């Protein structure tokens, strides 16, 4: 008997609220909005690295704190899908659901990469 193991390639597509980014562009101008987006992407990247370490170390309170900050940063620059998943992670931790926490954290990490890419791409396309 042979078994076939399927391994789906999960690709989370970034959900971006372009209106929020355009509002940054209108209010701050091209250079400043690009700086804000770049700083936000750097902060998301740093916090995602820390989040991964803390998931391994098993400190749910620190993971929760980081996830809450990711919600705020993501909303600030229009990364609504990313923010929603970070908020889902907080809820999983609050429910002490270890299995769901692991699954949602994995999704957040995958989505974080594509969301950061899309934010930078938007800034580049608008000349910001």
- Model pLDDT, residue 12: 55
Residue with tokens 């995602």: 48
Asked if residue 10 is part of any domain, the answer here is no
Asked if residue 49 is part of any domain, the answer here is yes
Q: What is the pLDDT of residues 58-108, one digit of tens each?
A: 889 999 999 999 999 999 999 999 999 999 999 999 999 999 999 999 999
Asked if residue 120 is part of any domain, the answer here is yes
Asked if residue 79 is part of any domain, the answer here is yes
Is 50 exceeded by the pLDDT of residue 10? no
Structural domain including 121 reads: 18-125
Asked if residue 35 is part of any domain, the answer here is yes
Asked if residue 119 is part of any domain, the answer here is yes
Structural domain total, the chain? 1
Asked if residue 67 is part of any domain, the answer here is yes
Q: Which of 82, 77, 71, 69 is nearest to 128 (CA)?
A: 77
State percent of the chain over pLDDT 70: 87
Q: Which of 52, 83, 85 is nearest to 69 (CA)?
A: 83
Asked if residue 13 is part of any domain, the answer here is no
Q: Could you tell me the CATH number of the domain that includes residue 119?
A: 1.20.120
Residue 5 CB partners (closer than 8 Å, separation 6+): none
């Amino acid at each position: 008997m042979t078994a076939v193991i399927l391994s789906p390639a999960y690709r989370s597509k970034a959900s971006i609220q372009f209106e929020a980014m355009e509002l940054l562009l209108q209010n701050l101008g091209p250079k400043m909005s690009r700086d804000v987006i770049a700083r936000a992407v750097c902060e998301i990247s740093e916090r995602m690295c820390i989040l991964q370490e803390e998931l391994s170390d098993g400190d749910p309170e620190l993971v929760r704190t980081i996830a809450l900050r990711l919600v705020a940063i993501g909303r600030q620059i229009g990364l609504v899908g990313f923010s929603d998943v970070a908020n889902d992670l907080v809820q999983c931790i609050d429910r002490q659901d270890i299995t769901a926490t692991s699954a949602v954290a994995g999704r957040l990490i995958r989505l974080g990469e594509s969301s950061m890419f899309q934010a930078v791409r938007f800034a580049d396309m608008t000349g910001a």
